[in-house]
Copies of this chain bind each other. A is one copy, B any other.
Amino acid sequence: MLSRKTKYAINALVYLARETKDGEPVQISRIAASENIPRKFLEAILLDLRHAGMLNSRKGKTGGYYLQKSPEEINIADVMRLFDGPIALLPCVAYKYYEKCDECIDEEACGIRAVFSDVRSETVKMLKKATLAEIIKRSEALKKNIVAQKKSLKGNANKLNNVTIKQQITSRQKKK
């Protein structure tokens, strides 16, 4: 699981990517209020994001935070690594944080390692693709779908056996 810190960081970054129109800095307290994040906690998180080069800040009276990179350049993988460390599920398949499993006997021929190496590759690939721009695009697509679905529901309200987009997704998930 992601730590709250990482989740808050992502929420804040997406908020900034959305809200920053003219490059004007946004105050911590505004982000905290909008995204339901404890003010003081967020303060520390934004500081870390700045030190990592994703955000920049202006101090003093009209101060606040703004993106230092474009929304296409900031991805979830980097944010996760910053706060939670390796994305890999085993130290022996981590790239930036590699470490031998200390109970391990033969790393080279380890089938467990092979499995988790595949999982890590796939996960990193997906999380690198997940930039702020991509996240915003997806949420917009979801919003459109919800609207379309509500229309179709209204139009077919008295038909039985009518399956909406959302119901299809839900039942696919439940099928296990």
A: residues with CB less than 8 A from B are 1-2, 7-8, 10-11, 14, 35-37, 76, 85-86, 88-91, 95, 101-105, 108-112, 114-115, 118-119, 122-123, 126-127, 130, 134-140, 142-143, 146, 173, 176
Contacts and interface: CB of A to CB of B under 8 A. Distances in A.
A139 B114 contact: yes
B115 A76 contact: yes
Contact of A103 (B35, B85, B112, B118): B35
Contact of A138 (B10, B114, B142, B146): B114
A86 B1 contact: yes
Copies, count? 2
A1 B88 contact: yes
A108 B142 contact: yes
Given A146-B108, A146-B109, A103 B139 contact: no
Contacts of A85: 1
Interface SS of chain A: helix
Given A103-B8, A109-B146, A122-B123, A91 B139 contact: no
Given A1-B88, A7-B112, A114-B139, 4 more contacts: A11-B112, A95-B173, A111-B140, A112-B139
Contacts of A95: 173, 176
Nearest to A131: B115
7 contacts: A1-B91, A108-B146, A112-B135, A114-B135, A114-B138, A115-B127, A123-B123
A115 B90 contact: no
Nearest to A80: B89
Contacts of A8: 103
